[in-house]
Amino acid sequence: MSAPDIALSALTGRLAERLRDRIIAGELLPGQRLSENALAAELSVSRNTLREAFRLLTKDGLLRHEPHRGVFVTTPDHAAVIDIYRVRRLVECRALAGAEPRHPAIARMRSAVERAEAARERADWQGVGSANMAFHAAIVDLADSARLAVFYAQVAAELRLAFGLLDTPEALHAPFIDGNRAILEALEAGRPRDAADLLDAYLGRAERIILGALSRRTAPSPAV
């Protein structure tokens, strides 16, 4: 591969990462149409480079291309939500159960809990959601695996799209702020297996909430 090709590939990768970060931050929502012209101008890149980033994110399942209509942010279906939560249990619960005392990621978990609690006071539910994502990313970091962290970033983007299915984000996030603190306190008290059990129950509840929202979203309208 020539030097220009390597540079273009690196630029495309960074651009895809920026767009993925926007999904994780809740700035790009399920079903949203992406304007090629507007994004290219905003990000100061060519339309061809942007299309390559779109292609990467489409391959990852975060975007979808519809002929003659454009590129849209993916809307997760029931199977995707179930699979996301299966992966989360396998990754996060095991990371918690095997966590080392005083691991540096525990401090990041505490910071995320405190940010979520502060955002709750302001009724900033997008801020709560972002802090929640940081909390769970820190749990994954307890495993000390760079490859796992990269993999989880992909899951996190899909997860944020699942969050976007709810009409009222407060309904999802409010009950779990205190749950995050309980998990943190169990871990800091030297009870990592208890923390993992709390998380397992927490994930089951969150999964049911999101699947319920998805079912209501896809239910046929009643006849009149």
Range 146-168 average pLDDT:
85
* Range of 58-62, 68-72, 188-192 with top mean pLDDT: 188-192
Q: How does pLDDT run across 116-148, given as a tens digit for each residue?
A: 999 999 999 888 988 998 999 999 999 999 999
Question: Which of 10-19, 92-101, 212-221 is least confident?
Answer: 212-221
pLDDT at 4: 60
pLDDT at 195: 97
pLDDT at 125: 86
- Compute the mean pLDDT over every residue in the chain, rounded to the nearest whole number: 89
pLDDT at 223 over 50: no
Is the Cβ–Cβ distance between 143 and 98 less than 8 Å?
A: yes
Q: How does pLDDT run across 51-68, given as a tens digit for each residue?
A: 999 999 999 889 999 998
Which amino acid does the sequence have at 170?
A: E
For residues 72 and 178, what is the distance between their CA atoms, to the nearest angstrom? 34
pLDDT greater at residue 11 or residue 180? 180
User: Percent of the chain scored above 70 by pLDDT?
Assistant: 93
pTM above threshold 0.85: no
pLDDT at 142: 97
pLDDT greater at residue 38 or residue 25? 38
Helix 3-24 and helix 47-59, axial crossing angle in degrees, nearest 10: 60
The model's confidence at residue 219, banded by pLDDT at 50, 70 and 90, is low
pLDDT at 96 over 60: yes
Q: Residue 129: which of 34, 14, 205, 23 has the closest Cα?
A: 23
Helix (H, G, I), strand (E, B) or coil at 126: helix
Is the Cβ–Cβ distance between 19 and 36 less than 8 Å?
A: no
Structure tokens belonging to residue 2: 């020539």
Q: How far is CA 221 from CA 12, 213, 216, 217, in A?
A: 42, 15, 10, 10
pLDDT greater at residue 6 or residue 166? 166
